[in-house]
Amino acid sequence: MEYPDKILAIVLAGGEGSRLYPLTAHRSKPAVPFGGKYRLVDFVISNLINSGVGSIYVVVQYKSQSLIEHLHKTWEPSRVATGEFVMEVPPQRQLGDDWFQGTANAVYQNLSLIDRHQPKLVAVFGADHVYRMDVRQMMEFHCANKADVTVAARSVPLAEAVSFGVLETDDAGRISAFREKPAKPKPMPGDSERAYVSMGNYLFDVEKLRGIVEAAHQRGETDFGSEILPRLMRTHRLFAYDFAANQVPGIKPYEETAYWRDVGTLQSYWQAHQDLLGERPCFDLFNPQWPIRSSRYDGPGVKITSRYVEDSLVCSAGWLNKALICRSIVGREVVLEEGAQLDECIILDYVKIGKGSRLRRVIVDKQNIIEAGTVLGFDREKDARQYFVDASGITVVPRGNRMISLAY
What DSSP string describes 57-69? EEEE-TT-HHHHH
Q: What is the mean pLDDT of residues 385-390?
A: 96
272 occurs within a structural domain: no
| Residue 183 covered by a domain | yes
Given a contact cutoff of 8 angstroms between Cβ atoms, the answer to whether 151 and 126 are in contact is no
pLDDT of 371 > 50? The answer is yes
**pLDDT confidence of residue 408:** 43
Same domain, 186 and 132: yes
Query: Could you tell me if 254 and 314 lie in one domain?
Result: no
Distance between CA atoms of 355 and 370, rounded to whole angstroms?
Answer: 9
Query: Which whole number is the average pLDDT over 286-294?
Result: 95
Q: Give me the sheet containing 319-320, strands edge to edge.
A: 303-304, 319-320, 335-336, 351-353, 368-370
Question: Nearest-CA neighbor of 110 among 232, 218, 9?
Answer: 9
Q: How far is it, in rounded angstroms, from Cα 111 to Cα 103?
A: 13
User: Do 319 and 369 belong together in one domain?
Assistant: yes
Q: 291 lies in a domain? A: no
- Specify whether 217 is located in the same domain as 308: no
Q: Dihedral sign for Cα 96, 98, 104, 106, please.
A: positive
CA 265 to chain centre: 12
If one counts the domains in the chain, the total is 2
Report the pLDDT averaged over residues 361-373: 97
For 258, list phi and psi in degrees, rounded to 5: 55, 50
What CA–CA distance (Å, rounded) separates 349 from 329?
10
User: Which pLDDT score, from 0 to 100, does residue 77 have?
Assistant: 59
Q: Which of 262, 287, 318 finishes a domain?
A: 262
Say if residue 4's pLDDT is above 80: no
Mean local confidence (pLDDT), 54-80: 84
Average pLDDT over residues 231-243: 93
Tell me the CATH number at 153: 3.90.550.10
Same domain, 257 and 307: no
Classify residue 271: in a domain, yes or no: no
Helix 65-74 with 41-50: angle, nearest 10 deg: 40
Question: Domain boundary at 262, 289, 311, which?
Answer: 262
Euclidean distance between the first and final Cα of the chain, in Å?
58
Q: Clarify whether residues 252 and 356 are in a common domain.
A: no
| Domain at 307, CATH number | 2.160.10.10
Lowest mean pLDDT among 34-48, 132-146, 180-194: 180-194
Judgement on whether residues 236 and 379 belong to the same structural domain of the protein: no
pLDDT score at 314: 96
Q: Is the pLDDT of residue 286 over 90?
A: yes
What are the φ/ψ torsions at residue 375 (nearest 5 degrees)?
-125, 120
**Quick check: is 369 in a domain?**
yes
Q: Assess whether 315 and 258 both reside in one domain.
A: no
**Pairing label, strands 238-242, 351-353:** unpaired
- Asked if residue 150 and residue 55 are part of one domain, the reply reads yes
Regarding whether 345 and 248 lie in a shared domain, the answer is no
Whether the per-residue pLDDT at 2 is higher than 60: the answer is no
Query: What pLDDT, on the 0 to 100 scale, is given for residue 137?
Result: 97
Q: Is 406 contained in some domain?
A: no
pTM of the shown model: 0.94
241 and 318 in one domain?
Answer: no
Ramachandran angles phi, psi of 81, nearest 5°: -60, -30
Model confidence pLDDT, tens digit, residues 190-212: 888 999 999 999 999 999 999 99
What pLDDT sits at residue 319? 93
Name every residue whose Cβ is closer than 8 Å to that of residue 170 and which is 6 or more positions away in sequence: 176, 189
Burial class (CB in 10 A: 0-12, 13-18, 19+), 303: middle
CB atoms within 10 A of CB 380: 11
Q: How confident is the model at residue 95 (pLDDT cuts 50, 70, 90)?
A: low
Spatial contact of 40 and 88, defined as CB atoms under 8 Å apart: no
pLDDT in tens, 131-170: 999 999 999 999 999 999 999 999 999 999 998 899 999 9
Domain end call among 246, 262, 278: 262
Residue count (the chain)? 408
154 φ, ψ (degrees, to nearest 5): -135, 160
Q: How confident is the model at residue 407 (pLDDT cuts 50, 70, 90)?
A: very low
Kind and range of the H or E run holding 217: helix 206-219
Same domain, 219 and 309: no
* Reported confidence tier of residue 189, pLDDT bands at 50, 70, 90: confident
127, 13 in Cβ contact below 8 A? yes
- Which of 96-105, 227-236, 320-329 is least confident? 96-105
CB 36 within 8 A of CB 313: yes
Alpha helices in 77-157 (DSSP H): 103-108, 111-117, 135-144
Asked if residue 7 lies in contact with residue 123, where contact means CB atoms within 8 angstroms, the answer is: yes
Neighbours of 83 (CB within 10 A): 14
Q: How distant is the alpha carbon of residue 117 from its chain centre?
A: 26
What residues make up the domain containing 146?
A: 7-262
Q: What is the mean pLDDT of the chain?
A: 91
| Residue 250 resides in a domain | yes
Question: Does 287 reside within a domain?
Answer: no
Phi/psi at 86 (5° precision) = -125, 115
Question: How far, in Å, are 45, 194, 211 from residue 153 at the CA level?
Answer: 19, 12, 24
Tens digit of pLDDT for each residue in 318-345?
A: 999 999 999 999 999 999 999 999 999 9
Distances (CA, A) of 306 to 6, 69, 338: 52, 34, 8
